[in-house]
Amino acid sequence: MTTIAILGLGEAGRRYARGLAHAGADVRAFDPAHDLGDPDVPQFATLAEALAGADVALSLVTGHAAASVAREALPHIAAGAVYADLNTAAPDLKQRIARLAADRGLAMADVAVLAPVVRAGHRTPLLASGTGARQFAERVGPFEVPVEVIDGDAGEAARLRLLRSVFMKGLAALVLEGLGAARAAGAEEWLRAQMADELGPDGAALVDRLVDGSTLHAVRREHEVRAALAALESSGQPADMTRATLAWFERLVAERDDSGR
């Protein structure tokens, strides 16, 4: 049986832990800040205990914590195991984690999550690069985890995800701005219906997800857009829309802070 250690039991981590366990994997979890409370997923008090015997370690913390968690976790991972970083982080951070793994002779997979995990759980489409990408795909594939492996070092999957974020987070900002203007004009429902029609059969649900998700995950998405902007600027390409998108997410974060949420 494949043993998978889940590091981080936030919104995404808890869904991966439960989904993989129910799909037949031997799942072990670690998160001192969250209690999963699932009898099918033992939760351990230390990283060393959670990682003992793991074939795959999935890091699902935050981009800010990704490097420090990797630094603490890697000494406890056995030879032949794969360290997979699923956090939303800039390519250079993924490369730094890959170097930490390589220093210990371990394979690392830079894994980009390509859709909100709340929709499909552990079946969410993934994109993977790096020395451990193929091993990662082979080990989690039997548990209904869809992984597209691409050529390239760690950081390549993260780079492509940031390009996707330019579009998706920009679309979210455009929806928010349009609905705000329509609300002031007393035409919010009319414009929402217009947007939904343009976005296709699932357009209404997509509009709802863009609005609700942007507010609920404003802090994480602000960091993501900031990383996407840095990537665009380093490429020499125009980034006017992404700068405006960042301004929107900075405003959402400020509103959350002001409301005390």
Q: Contact at 8 Å (CB) between 153 and 95?
A: yes
The string of DSSP letters for 57-88 reads: EEE-S-TTTHHHHHHHHGGGSPTT-EEEE-S-
Q: What confidence tens digit (pLDDT) does each residue in 55-90 have?
A: 999 999 988 899 999 999 999 999 999 999 999 888
Secondary element (H or E) of residue 115: none
The string of DSSP letters for 182-236 reads: HHHTT-HHHHHHHHHHHT-TTHHHHHHHHHHHHHHTHHHHHHHHHHHHHHHHHHT
Nearest to 62 by CA among 86, 85, 91, 87: 87
Query: What SS3 state is found at 23?
Result: coil
> What percent of the chain has a predicted confidence (pLDDT) above 90?
91
Residue 173, token pair as written in the block: 């900002």
Q: Give 259's contacts (C-beta < 8 A, 6+ positions apart).
A: none
- Quote the mean pLDDT of the chain: 95
Q: What confidence tens digit (pLDDT) does each residue in 222-259 have?
A: 999 999 999 899 999 999 999 999 999 999 999 988 77
- Give whole-number Cα distances, 102 to 61, 79, 95, 123, 138, in Å: 21, 11, 10, 28, 20
Q: What confidence tens digit (pLDDT) does each residue in 140-173 have?
A: 999 999 999 999 999 999 999 999 999 999 999 9
Query: What SS3 state is found at 32?
Result: coil
Q: Contact at 8 Å (CB) between 128 and 149?
A: yes
Q: Give 7's contacts (C-beta < 8 A, 6+ positions apart).
A: 13, 29, 30, 31, 47, 50, 57, 58, 59, 60, 61, 69, 73
pTM of the shown model: 0.90
Q: What confidence tens digit (pLDDT) does each residue in 207-220 have?
A: 999 999 999 989 98
